[in-house]
A and B are shown apart, each in its own frame.
Chain A
Amino acid sequence: NAGVTQTPKFRILKIGQSMTLQCTQDMNHNYMYWYRQDPGMGLKLIYYSVGAGITDKGEVPNGYNVSRSTTEDFPLRLELAAPSQTSVYFCASSYSTGFREDTQYFGPGTRLTVL
């Protein structure tokens, strides 16, 4: 098992450009999440998904979009990049039945800089 994989590892964008951060998990987890981690801060939830075709906003969703067409993939889209989106982005997945939380497993992260 590769676990949770993310691409790219690093990216520099210009203001106004768009990009998609890719996330794939091979653990057959139903829940997937996107977080951002700003320097010296904890993780903040951007969006999450409880299964294919179902997504919901987290704490900081503005400026981002997501889709979940398969169990394995959960891409995060930035449409108009802004300097405030400079951060490290982590994807995570977990298997949860109902509201009982199972452990979230994290990918290695994507470091994004917007100039």
Chain B
Amino acid sequence: AQSVAQPEDQVNVAEGNPLTVKCTYSVSGNPYLFWYVQYPNRGLQFLLKYITGDNLVKGSYGFEAEFNKSQTSFHLKKPSALVSDSALYFCAVRDTGRRALTFGSGTRLQVQP
């Protein structure tokens, strides 16, 4: 079975400060990991993914994520938050040998001016 946990319902950060949104996963094989962002009344937009290779993955809008196999984590990071980054962020995982993604419950990021 595959599963994803996003332990924080909400993350608050001041504009200009670094942000981290946490994600841990559980798979039986090698994971494919994704981050998506959802703005109000919109569909999900792809941010970045880890398939293989470098543990630090760079994505859209200045976001990056670090894959840590020993801690089974894939935390999303950004060095300097913007108010426009405020949105709902979803981590997702797919195990090799499976065809469907499993999504976490989402973390709401609130960036204060």
Contacts and interface: CB of A to CB of B under 8 A. Distances in A.
Interface of A: 4, 31, 33, 35, 40-45, 48, 50, 56, 58-59, 90, 92, 96, 99-101, 103-109
Given A42-B106, A43-B103, A101 B32 contact: yes
Given A40-B105, A48-B99, A101-B51, A106 B44 contact: yes
Interface residues of B, number: 25
A106 B90 CA distance: 13
Interface of B: 4, 32, 34, 36, 41-46, 49, 51, 90, 94, 96-106
B46 A45 contact: no
A45 B101 contact: yes
A104 B101 contact: yes
Contact of B100 (A33, A42, A103): A33
B90 A103 contact: no
Contacts, number: 58
9 contacts: A33-B100, A41-B106, A42-B4, A42-B106, A45-B101, A99-B98, A100-B51, A103-B34, A109-B41
A99 B97 contact: yes
Q: Which 9 pairs across A and B sit closest by C-beta, in order of nearness?
A: A106-B43, A42-B103, A106-B44, A43-B103, A42-B105, A101-B32, A108-B43, A45-B100, A103-B46
Contact of B45 (A40, A59, A106): A106
A99 B45 contact: no
Contacts of B36: 106
Contacts of A104: 34, 46, 101
Nearest to B93: A101
B94 A101 contact: yes
Contacts of B45: 106
A13 B94 CA distance: 34
Nearest to A96: B99
A84 B110 CA distance: 30
B38 to A, nearest CB: 9
